[in-house]
Structure 1
Amino acid sequence: MKNESKSVVCFGEVLWDVLPNQVKPGGAPMNVAYHLRKFGVDSHMISRVGADEMGLRLLNLLDQWQIPAGYCPRDTEHVTGQVIAKILPGNEMEYTIQHHAAWDYICCSEEQESLVAKADAFVFGSLAARGETSRETLFRLLEKAQYKVFDINLRAPFYNSEIVEQLLEKCNLLKMNENELYLLSQWYLLSADNEAASVRTLQERFGIDEVIVTRGGDGASYYSASETCSIAAYPVEVQDTVGSGDSFLAAFLAQKLQGAAPYDRMKYASALGSFVASRDGACPAYTLDQLKLFIAQKEEEVVW
């Protein structure tokens, strides 16, 4: 699978997920960049790390993953971000996110603006907007982006309806899970028990071209002005769900950049999301051949 002529810029948090028995690299936008690179997409990460050992390790990883580290400068005043992750019943995750991490202080530059302006897509979330410095940079870069992908990624208490609404007004593609849709339904008095009606209202209100709603083991749905489709999840024994949604988005974007139809994008995204959920951590080592073998083995188990 070749996407060498396509580029995607991911903006926001790079950090370490401190899990009960291990420490893994993480941050939703970095996870997306990692998986995009697996598909041959020229992915970039705009962030910030501390001038500490943990920051250096992240920069080394980006280098190993062939993601340019030059847009993730080292910050001598703030530490590299960490998230303390706790596994809850049902394999759901609870996160405690460190305050005032280096990625809260991402400064804008002309080089970043040029990079974003040339990219085929710009991926961002709400968490990177919690700090004033990174938020101002994000809004400046959004003015340069051609195709804006909002992976809403609501993490209490680091969001408010005013900023989320401003980001919704900017995006072309919105990705959210069913819990995030429910919260938006409460904010905007949508049909909480009718996913399609809620999504259509959001699209009309904010002028959003495409929406993805993920439902974990119950699959996901896609909505555009002209098309709607739903896809099942591939059955797996879940190791953890950290980063599975990020991998889902990366696979969807990679397929979109190739010109695949929405149903095919969603099917492939579901496969990678399930595959990652069956592995440890958000960025497990794998090859596309391994993913293809997984899909071949699981195809007959999926009820489409």
Structure 2
Amino acid sequence: MNTKKINVACFGEVLWDKFMDGNRRAGGAPFNVAYHLSKMEIEAYMISSVGKDALGIELLEKIQNWKIPTEGIQESTQYPTSQVLATLDENNEAQYEIVDQVAWDYIESQPSDIVKVANSDALVFGTLAARNATSRNTLLELVEASPYNIFDINLRPPHFDVALIKQLLHHTNLAKFNKAELRLILDFLDKSYQNEVDSIRFIQDTFGIKEVIVSKGSKGAIYAYEDVIYHYPTIPITVKDTVGSGDSFLAGFISKSLEKGSSAEEIMSNAVSLGAFITSKEGACPDYSLSDFLAFRDQHNVKPIPELI
């Protein structure tokens, strides 16, 4: 697919999502991005930590079976592998109960990871894994080393710090929000919400960010590149669940945007299509082939629309 192998590092939580039916599935927002990047034939490198326990061993085996490198995933003897209780509401929207003092709260800085990030095409990170000082300090080192920072805001109240979000935004090349997160960040900045375009312009100007994505679920998505804004509809599908849908959208965006010669239309079509494709399946990391996804994307042939949706 690519003449030169694209390398993307993802920093943050890897964990087990535990569902009310007793099933558990590998997850964590940055890991979900890494999983889908790997499916898109991108070389994804995960920087995280699991416990040196039965759940950690099982999680590492699963990741290895998915052909995703695990050398950046540390094993903690002090803190357990993370488990998150995931529930689905009547609209199949996911809610999470997140336990603290787990292995990915204590991701240590490693010289090998800094070198890996410095030689990658991009670094993907969010806010959740920065809730603890150890992982937060490691992230700040990686952000300084990275040539291209992708900040998936991914707010999980109360696990975020406004001052840190502002600091990270000042080091961000591409910022991704959902609509609720965009409004919340504006509140933090004492900026009244007018409309999406005005909000995006404010974020770009305040933090010097060229690229901003706003995902809006069933109402599509917006991509701003400097002064140009693209509006995209969603693909009508039967929703299985929304676990990891934003992560797959971001992976679809990244995989095409880092491919030389891709147009904004191709990038957003890929992003919207992968988000819809995964939402029509169960779980954040369902099994699928690249050819399955490409057939879905080409069948729907998403086009931009000229006005806000």
2:14 maps to which residue? 14
- Secondary structure of the structure 1 residue equivalent to 2:108: coil
Q: For residues 141-220 of structure 1, what are the structure 2 equivalents within 5 Å?
A: 141-220=142-221
Give the counterpart letter for 1:280 in structure 2. E
Question: Does the 8 A contact of 1:213 with 1:222 survive in 2?
Answer: yes
Q: For residues 126-137 of structure 1, what are the structure 2 equivalents within 5 Å?
A: 126-137=127-138
Farther off after superposition, 64-73 or 205-214: 64-73
Normalised to the residue count of structure 1, the TM-score between the two structures is 0.96
1:252 maps to which residue? 253
Output the CA distance in 2 between the equivalents of 1:290 and 1:138.
35
Question: Does the 8 A contact of 1:3 with 1:41 survive in 2?
Answer: no
Output the CA distance in 2 between the equivalents of 1:141 and 1:25.
24
Output the CA distance in 2 between the equivalents of 1:123 and 1:155.
17
- Secondary structure of the structure 2 residue equivalent to 1:181: helix
**Structure 2 unmatched ranges of 5 or more:** none
CA shift at 1:188, angstroms?
1.6
Cα shift readout 1:49-71 (whole Å, capped 9, x = no counterpart): 00111111111122112211111
- Secondary structure of the structure 1 residue equivalent to 2:224: strand
2:292 maps to which residue? 290
Question: Does the 8 A contact of 2:72 with 2:113 survive in 1?
Answer: yes
Cα shift readout 1:225-245 (whole Å, capped 9, x = no counterpart): 132101111111101101111
Cα shift readout 1:61-94 (whole Å, capped 9, x = no counterpart): 2211221111112111100011111112322221
2:277 maps to which residue? 275
- Secondary structure of the structure 2 residue equivalent to 1:119: coil
- Secondary structure of the structure 2 residue equivalent to 1:103: helix
Give the counterpart letter for 1:175 in structure 2. K
Output the CA distance in 2 between the equivalents of 1:297 and 1:124.
32
The size of the alignment, in residue pairs, is 303
Give the counterpart letter for 1:276 in structure 2. I
Aligned mate of 1:261, from 250, 263, 281? 263
1:27 maps to which residue? 28
Question: Does the 8 A contact of 2:269 with 2:301 survive in 1?
Answer: no
- Secondary structure of the structure 2 residue equivalent to 1:258: coil
CA shift at 1:4, angstroms?
5.0
Question: Does the 8 A contact of 2:15 with 2:27 survive in 1?
Answer: yes
Root mean square deviation of aligned Cα = 1.5
Output the CA distance in 2 between the equivalents of 1:3 and 1:281.
31
Report percent identity of matched pairs: 43
Output the CA distance in 2 between the equivalents of 1:112 and 1:33.
15
Question: Does the 8 A contact of 1:4 with 1:40 survive in 2?
Answer: no
Cα shift readout 1:135-175 (whole Å, capped 9, x = no counterpart): 00000111100000000100011012111111111110000
**Structure 1 unmatched ranges of 5 or more:** none
CA shift at 1:267, angstroms?
1.1
2:78 maps to which residue? 77
- Secondary structure of the structure 2 residue equivalent to 1:73: strand
Output the CA distance in 1 between the equivalents of 2:226 and 2:51.
43
